[in-house]
Amino acid sequence: MKKVYIEWYDAHSRNEWYFKEDALTDLKPPMLCKTIGWLFKETKKCVVICHTKSPTMVTGLMHIPKISIKILEKL
């Protein structure tokens, strides 16, 4: 597995009550996230990384849709 650096956009939401006329006044753009991990698998649709690995196991798997990725750099 190769170590990678990824910049990607994540959606975010708020779970609180709004009056309908105020619901669209607090819109924010997608959040730019920066992640370093081990490239576990790459498909046409997503990149799968893990945060920790051993010779036989992995943990902390994260699936990032390719459409969300701004930068994917092998380190």
Span 43-71, pLDDT tens digits: 999 999 999 999 999 999 999 999 999 99
pLDDT (0 to 100) of residue 49: 97
Sheet of 31-42, strand order: 62-65, 46-50, 31-42, 3-10, 69-74
pLDDT (0 to 100) of residue 47: 97
pLDDT (0 to 100) of residue 5: 98
Other beta carbons less than 10 A from residue 41's beta carbon: 12
Contacts with 23 (C-beta within 8 Å, 6 or more apart), sequence order: none
